Structure 1
Amino acid sequence: MFGWRARLGLMIPTNNTVIEPELALLTPSGVALYTTRMISSRSGYASVSGLQHIVSNVERATEELSITGVNAFLYGCLSTSFVHPDWEASYASHIRKRSKSPAITAMSATISAIRSFNTDDIALLCSYESEMLRLGLNRFAADKINVVSVHSLGISNFSTLSNITNIDIYRSARSMDLKEAKMLCILATDIPSVKIINTLEKDLGIPVISTNQSLLWNVLNELKINVNNKDFGSLFDRKII
């Protein structure tokens, strides 16, 4: 039997080639991951209109995962929460009423992970172009999180994004001004990082989290599944506040 501890249902954009293999690395024994995909863009480029379209797929994706019998729902598109901040809370509430199971978004998990370290001063490493980055910074400000340093890869083309490597992310992080930062947040579900989080924490001397790592950490906490994932960062020593 697969998923004898928990079955997790994951909703992701069709272009995302990172989150599934990363969560597979992080997922402990007895926990199974089931995924459905949602079309956000047929052009190959990220856009606000594409994110509006992806939300229209959520009900269908939820029904598919409900039939699978999952114990929790993970929404793996971070930028949806930038464009539709009010939608996020209604989505989680709707899922809980419908299935009696927790629903966790990439953004809510990232915020919970940051707060678990009792700090508000963070550095951001992300992939977003100017408009999406502006919306993202607005969202952090609304959550009273102080972004003291930002480095963006500035990528909107999906094919370019899918070829970013862990080495690219490591070198980008090392190039940042982190003097005022209490932690580094690698923001997005489609840039790889979980294999280098431990190395970055050692080399930078501050906690490092990623959105994908935060998403799994959050749901395991919600389901009261204890794991020892110290190979993938100090976040797994923390609890939700």
Structure 2
Amino acid sequence: MAEALTSGSALSRLRVGLIVPSVNAVIEPDCARIAWPDVTFHATRVMLRETTPEGLRQMNEGVAAAADLIASVTPDVVAFACTSGSFIDGEEGLARQIASIEVRVGCPVVSTSRCIVAAMAHLNATKVALATPYLDEVNAAELAFLESHGLTVTKLRGLGLSGKAIREVPPERVKELVRDVDTPDSEAIFVSCTDLRALEVAEELEHECGKPVLTSNQVTLWGIRNALGGVPAVTSYGKLLA
């Protein structure tokens, strides 16, 4: 992969497939912010009406069909880029989901929820403050997922939102949420949801809080970079991507 990135030919371009909820209007602009040379992003969508356990499970029923669609661009890696959709049925449900995508796309597959766990391990952090836009029942599922992977959530705050309302949260409100959820004993802060405008303020918050501030789109992009190999680090979007 690294040789392909530096060859300079048109054939060296690497393709990243994204499977995203239909309402998501944030992850593609965040991918454009990163703008790795010779890496292109291609998204397909799965219908999501409400970010509730029932709505997420209904959405997940369409993920296999979305994988069939994204396979047609012959991606080098595919990301299931929905935090809540990837944790709602725990690791067992996620493993089935990833296996179903892999058999259809024929390339490495990353998911936002697994990228959270991997990023925390990379940072040698086990205690995390959790900021989310979600309803309580979705927060409970995320808490259970993180704890099942050996992480301790020092504090959790959610905004009680669902569906299209999440993407309308301004970055200033995200900053307020992070300040509220941070605790002295947390080793990192995680801001959940690929449809929340958190990446653009992650580095500012890291400087303010004095610890890593991870976001769903940041950890997903980090997982994509690791899967591709040979992709350069980027600045201005937090310690993890630097």
Which of the residues 172, 175, 183 maps onto 2:177? 172
Which of the residues 230, 233, 236 maps onto 2:238? 233
- TM-score of the superposition, structure 1-length normalised? 0.90
Which of the residues 144, 154, 161 maps onto 1:148? 154
Shift of the 3–144 alpha-carbon distance from structure 1 to 2, 3 Å rule, reads farther
Query: Counterpart of 2:40?
Result: 32
Query: Counterpart of 1:218?
Result: 223
- TM-score of the superposition, structure 2-length normalised? 0.90
2:41 maps to a residue whose letter is L
Matched, 1:135 2:141: yes
CA contact (8 A) 2:80 2:86 kept: no
Higher helix share: 2
1:103 maps to a residue whose letter is V
Whole-angstrom distance in 2 between the partners of 1:19 and 1:77: 10
Runs ≥4 residues deviating over 6 A = none
Shift of 1:84: 2.0
Shift of 1:3: 8.0
SS for the counterpart of 1:124 is: strand
Shift of the 49–216 alpha-carbon distance from structure 1 to 2, 3 Å rule, reads same
Query: Counterpart of 1:194?
Result: 199
Matched, 1:121 2:140: no
* Greater shift in the superposed pair: 83-92 or 48-57: 83-92
Aligned length: 233
What per-residue deviation string (whole Å, max 9, x for no partner) do you get for residues 33-65 of structure 1? 000111122xxx322221121122112111111
Query: Counterpart of 1:9?
Result: 17
* Greater shift in the superposed pair: 88-97 or 9-18: 88-97
Shift of the 2–113 alpha-carbon distance from structure 1 to 2, 3 Å rule, reads farther
SS for the counterpart of 2:51 is: coil
Whole-angstrom distance in 2 between the partners of 1:134 and 1:199: 28
Shift of the 122–3 alpha-carbon distance from structure 1 to 2, 3 Å rule, reads farther
CA contact (8 A) 2:127 2:186 kept: yes
SS for the counterpart of 1:17 is: coil
Whole-angstrom distance in 1 between the partners of 2:218 and 2:123: 15
Shift of 1:98: 4.1
What per-residue deviation string (whole Å, max 9, x for no partner) do you get for residues 105-146 of structure 1? 110111111111011011011111111111110111111100
